[in-house]
């Protein structure tokens, strides 16, 4: 009886982990665009283009070199602008900024003007990517 109960507990735990893994993988982050960011603090334009669907959240990642993120200026399809203060977040290669929620109902993004800089060795360039989380 004790062995059967132990087996049941193990199977139940495996089922719970599987359900949790499926919930995490169900998140839909789509790549919106990538730019090379130099070690000089300046703005870079990411044209989002014909992305279908409304976006609920935005985050940025970096590759090759660390990057420091200051501000994102979002232009919606309606022409409205939205500013997101990224607070000078330092993100290491392979990492992400925290996700930022969009406000309002028209979340169709045309363009992102990003104020960031590569924070690695002098002259090093970071590849920065904008990611959008689609609304379900």
Of 56-65, 100-109, 111-120, give the lowest mean pLDDT range: 100-109
pLDDT of res. 99? 96
Instruction: Judge whether residue 91 has pLDDT over 90.
Output: yes
Q: Where are the domains of the chain?
A: 29-134
Distance CA 41, CA 44 (A): 10
- Pick the residue with more confidence: 54 or 122? 122
pLDDT of res. 40? 85
pLDDT of res. 136? 61
Q: Are 127 and 24 in contact (CB under 8 A)?
A: no
CATH architecture of 29-134: Sandwich (2.60)
Structure tokens at 4: 């059967």
pLDDT of res. 32? 92
Q: What is the DSSP letter of 61?
A: E
From the CB of residue 47, how many other CB atoms can be counted at a distance below 10 Å?
12
pLDDT tens for residues 39-64? 987 888 888 865 556 788 999 999 99
Structure tokens at 92: 């290491």
What's the whole-number mean pLDDT along residues 93-116? 88
Task: Give the residue from 121, 124, 102, 117 showing the smallest Cα distance to 51.
Answer: 102
Instruction: Judge whether residue 69 has pLDDT over 60.
Output: yes
pLDDT bin (cut points 50, 70, 90) of residue 135 is low
pLDDT of res. 24? 47
What's the whole-number mean pLDDT along residues 120-130? 93
């Amino acid at each position: 009886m004790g062995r059967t109960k132990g087996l049941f507990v193990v199977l139940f735990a495996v089922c719970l982990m599987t359900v949790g893994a499926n919930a995490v993988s169900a998140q839909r982050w789509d790549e919106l665009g990538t730019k090379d960011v130099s070690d000089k603090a300046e703005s870079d334009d990411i044209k989002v283009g014909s992305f279908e669907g409304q976006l609920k959240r935005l985050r940025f990642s970096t590759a090759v070199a660390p990057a420091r993120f200051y501000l994102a200026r979002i232009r919606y399809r309606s022409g409205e602008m939205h500013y997101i203060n990224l607070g000078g977040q330092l993100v290491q290669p392979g990492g992400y900024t925290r996700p930022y929620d969009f406000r309002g109902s028209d979340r169709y993004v045309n363009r992102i003007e990003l104020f960031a800089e590569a924070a690695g060795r002098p002259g090093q360039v970071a590849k920065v990517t904008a990611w959008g989380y689609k609304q379900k």
